[in-house]
Structure 1
Amino acid sequence: MNSLAGLTAAVLLGASAAVAPAAAADTYAHRLLGKAAPDECFAGIGQPYPPGPPCARGQAKVNQSYVWGMTRVGRQVWFGTGANTHCLTSGSGLADADPVVNDDYVCEFAESQVAKEHPTVPDALGDIRVPQIWLYDAGVLTNRTAEVMASDADARRLRSTLGMRAAGNAGGVVLFAGPSLTSTLNVFAFDAVTKRFLGSRTLARYGNARTFLAAAGDLYLGAGIGPDGGLGGAVLRWRGNRIAPFLFDRVATLPAQAADLAYADGRLYATTWSTARPTTDAQIAGVWRSPPLPLDGAGWTQVWQAGSYEKDPLTTTTYGVGGVAAYGGWLYWGSMHVPLKATKAHQAAYPQPTEETRNAQIRYTQRAATIWRGRDLGTPEQQIELLYGESVLPVYQPTGGAWAPVPTGWTARYGKSGFGNTFNNYTWRMTVAGDRLYVATMDWSYLVHLLSDTAPPTDPAGWGADLWTFPSADSPAQPVNVSGLGNHLNYGIRTMAADGDDLYLGLANPMNLRTDPADSVPEGGWELIRLDRTVS
């Protein structure tokens, strides 16, 4: 992170002005149901953690940053957290593990007491903390983590889990899944009726999981293989019960890890992230279509991949595809772009000799989320539309050492990438509630000012995650909220669960040093929010 001080100016020079369409006609009210509390004291990078909180020495710190996986069972909402996820992504995903501290957050990496005391924890993941499992039921929020920690074996498994990235339920069982320090997949189960903890298992063949999907009477899990799922993917069908909750059948083997799942027309659709080193189109981020259910493991086909839009070959390899949902006779999906991932790839492959060319490299490798839809996918009548995106993108020409604008071959139906906001980089989730499709983003504009003291400021009115809605399949998206739902430090809406016309929202907020309720800045840490819609 410290190595990217020139980023902000370069990005802002190329930033498009945010579009301000008419707000959604219906009215929405959001309520904060739960919030992460400070759980540690911080006295400086590399220093032992003082007792507390409350903190007689040092300052309070809130490690639990994401509602990462969430599922609704009737009036119950179960969710699992991820701690210091921003630090883990920077250290592991971006290979940028220089310790950093500012007014908003700290990432200690190798200087963390966890890394120093546990040699098996990689330096890049030194900010790992034990994830938590929570239940919101009848207006009461309870932390169920202690039940997992009561058994030595389950406690060891939980301590090795990077976060509860996926959650789902079926047959009266609530399941959580998350990647581990050993590049395996840890799964935890609770009884939805008694709320009793049922145990945990490690699935050694898999290294990541991002989503569960209940469809046509079954529960499916999208998984990745290898470290962070970077070696390939799979779709698993759960065949367990309360007595044996960890039974899965593999019903798809994919060339890239499954990110999100949707069900339409008797089939599953899986979005994927590019593999760590893709060499074929099948390993590039895309959308895959299953054969008709029930599934037996064969017959999946790729119906779209990012290279059909992105013309820079190296940037293409850094794409992910995230949220996906069936709505109005179409399948909708959106792209995901880890901030600076494409920049890092270009810096490694094509080092630049001057400040001017280095800034150009930073500027021209930024991408905002694109929104797509398709119907009759995988058939001769296949139709795909770009709803929000670009007609031209910058492409690096290695032979000439310059960037050139190259047509993507697409014209957006409604608007620019990121719903007109350059910093909307993730299509993190899509969910249908009532008669509307909702799209949740990550907006990293607040983070930008932390990377450079000299760059122009971003607009505070745009800080915080966005929630957009398509009121029909014939209409452009409308903003529900574009400022973090009351807390501009909420840079992402990581997950959503529908409840009729309404939504439960799981927020991502990594600002682990923002813990003073008496100052003028909102607090860091995850938030659970309910969004109620009043139909006009």
Structure 2
Amino acid sequence: MFGSVLGLSTGALAGDYGNDGSPYRVRLLAKAKPDECFAGIGVSYPPGPPCATGQAKVNQAYVWGLARVGRQVWFGTGTNINCLTSGTNLSRIEPYVNGDFVCEYGQSQVVKQNPGLPPSVGDYRPPQVWLYDSGNGQLTEKTAEIRDRSADDAKRLRTTLGLRAGGSHNGIVLFGGPALNQTVNLFAFDSKTKRYLGSTTLSEYGNIRHMVVADNALYLGVGIGRNGSAGGAVLRWTGTVENPFSFVPVAQLPAQAADLTEHDGRIFISTWPAGSATTTATMAGIWMSPKLSDGAPGLNSEDATRWTQVWNATMYEPDRVVAATYAMGGLASYGGYLYWGTLHVPTKATSVHTEVYPPGDEAATKAAVRNTQRASAVFRGRDFGDSRQKVDLLYGLPDLPAFDPTASAGAGAWSLKSTGYKPLYGRSGFDNPFNTYTWAMAVAGGKLYVGTMDWSYLLTSMAGIGGQGSNATVTREMYNPANISAVDRSGFGGDLWVFEGANHPAKPVSTSGLGNYLNYGVRNIVTDGNDLFVGMANPMNLRTDPNDGVPEGGWELISVSPRR
């Protein structure tokens, strides 16, 4: 009735990673398993696993939506997200395979069986829903309950690109994700009985990233249009267990909502840029709601046009084209400050910049590749919206390269320009240039935890990749093996950092993927007292051999606990 149950104790999968004298105990709680066989790009998938032909492949890559109810940890997955990101955000759809992963794009059997699908999403597979019980270590898959409910539920699941957002409130657990038809699909469960309640489609919206409970209400951050390219909104959940899909729009934004948190009696939102970020309002930034105590409790429909952008990427980034490619990531309220960080899709700024200003020769191409790279910057601020507003740069740079297209007799030239800040604690990316995402923030036990994405392993895995399209020369330069050989391989894996006080620099909890360096990112964090449940991102879909001396690919759910 409640799906297949894997009776795994908390130590049964990979044991205790924290036997190194560190102040944290890190345990692997659950891990994606191979779900397909691969015999070559464009080749029909052999039966299995186990795979008599070809090799095992694990498509389930991210813990994408994450929520906790008591000892229940619910999560939804995303599949082959690195392929989807390259296809949809970077327009790279040439099939590619190496020892770590494969992206088939238009050669995928999914596209061949569904010719109407664009090649950019050819590597998607339906997501899964899982429930982990932290009391007894039991892992239960809930996906079949969705498929078996009705043909409509099964179709919604089958056409969802991934369950990107998760939340819980007043007896329900809610998951949401972007759909193939540029809408948002939602799925609801009863948190008390764990029973599946049903699904719906929000046709007005095209993306969803996070949910938050603030002042006893659940809010969802959504995007409008394809991948949120036409703006954003915030929805307040007004439903019940009996009627789980009732919402009121409480924010209309010119950019899509990303993460949300409560701070200083308001909701603050980080945004991703609109499809054409031509104004500061449509660029990535931080937005502030009216006070939750104004008028009726919480946010309501009359608040939809009363939000204020209090910070945006141009307030730090001196190059206007690069600034338009920024996104904002995790944010949290801590020690009287709002903390947030930037996100930079690897190679996105280079691709956009060289389209706007095509390099004239090889030297200009190399300069564009070198000068458009950005690692994540971490900020904090307070007293937003009045004359006392103050923003500090914690990790970043005082100067960044900016391009002047009128220099050198119209050929253009790069030079360092001030960001207007001096970092208090260190350089961008927590002093690691490959930490390009500040993906998650959470407060537990009086400490602020920050999770990153480190793409250094992904870069080395793609050494020598060929170029295609108008940016072929740029792509070849980006993945030039001569450049990649200098990458510090000891830093592979996403990071988890901790601020132990508002006036202290961050300390590393792990800089190597919390025990698996193929985990290139800390995608989500939920807390339980002093402890963390961490959802990892690991798209290395061909790393499935437990005997090859390399860790395995696929999502991981990990607990992180301070040693007592």
TM-score range, shorter chain: over 0.9
Total equivalences in the alignment: 512
Partner of 1:355: 362
Cα deviation 1:176-210 (Å, max 9, x = unaligned): 00000111000000011111110000000111111
Deviation at 1:461, TM superposition (A): 1.4
State the SS of the aligned residue for 1:213. Answer: strand
After superposition, residues 429-440 of structure 1 pair within 5 angstroms as 429-440=440-451
Please say if 1:480 is aligned against 2:484. no
Q: Which amino acid letter does the alignment assign opposite residue 467 of structure 1?
A: L
Match for 1:442 among 442, 446, 453? 453
The separation in 2 between residues aligned to 1:501 and 1:320, in whole angstroms, is: 29
Match for 1:139 among 137, 140, 154? 137
CA contact (8 A) 1:70 1:166 kept: yes
**Structure 2: gaps (5+ residues):** 1-20, 293-297, 465-480
Cα deviation 1:127-159 (Å, max 9, x = unaligned): 010100000013101110000011211010011
- Between the aligned residues of both structures, percent identity stands at 57
After superposition, residues 501-516 of structure 1 pair within 5 angstroms as 501-516=530-545
Match for 1:79 among 75, 78, 82? 75
State the SS of the aligned residue for 1:199. Answer: strand
Deviation at 1:396, TM superposition (A): 1.0
Match for 1:295 among 292, 296, 299? 299
Partner of 2:475: none
Partner of 1:460: 489
The separation in 1 between residues aligned to 2:69 and 2:159, in whole angstroms, is: 27
Partner of 1:394: 401
After superposition, residues 119-158 of structure 1 pair within 5 angstroms as 119-137=115-133, 138-150=136-148, 151-158=150-157
Match for 1:60 among 56, 64, 70? 56
Partner of 2:46: 50
After superposition, residues 183-332 of structure 1 pair within 5 angstroms as 183-293=182-292, 294-296=298-300, 297-332=304-339
Partner of 1:15: none
Q: How big is the alpha-carbon RMSD for the aligned residues of Structure 1 and Structure 2?
A: 1.2
Bigger relative contact order, structure 1 or 2, given CA contacts below 8 A and separation 6+? 1
The separation in 2 between residues aligned to 1:131 and 1:451, in whole angstroms, is: 26
Deviation at 1:230, TM superposition (A): 1.2
CA contact (8 A) 1:449 1:457 kept: no
Cα deviation 1:33-56 (Å, max 9, x = unaligned): 000000000000000000000000
Cα deviation 1:456-475 (Å, max 9, x = unaligned): 14222100000000000010
Partner of 2:107: 111
The separation in 1 between residues aligned to 2:323 and 2:63, in whole angstroms, is: 29
Partner of 2:558: 529
Cα deviation 1:52-76 (Å, max 9, x = unaligned): 0000000000000000010000000
Deviation at 1:26, TM superposition (A): 7.5
* TM superposition outliers: structure 1 runs of 4+ over 3 Å: none
State the SS of the aligned residue for 1:449. Answer: helix
Cα deviation 1:439-497 (Å, max 9, x = unaligned): 00000010111232432142221000000000000101110100001100000010000
Q: Which amino acid letter does the alignment assign opposite residue 416 of structure 1?
A: R
TM-score, normalization by structure 1: 0.94
TM-score, normalization by structure 2: 0.90
Please say if 1:417 is aligned against 2:428. yes
CA contact (8 A) 1:26 1:533 kept: no
The separation in 2 between residues aligned to 1:130 and 1:273, in whole angstroms, is: 25
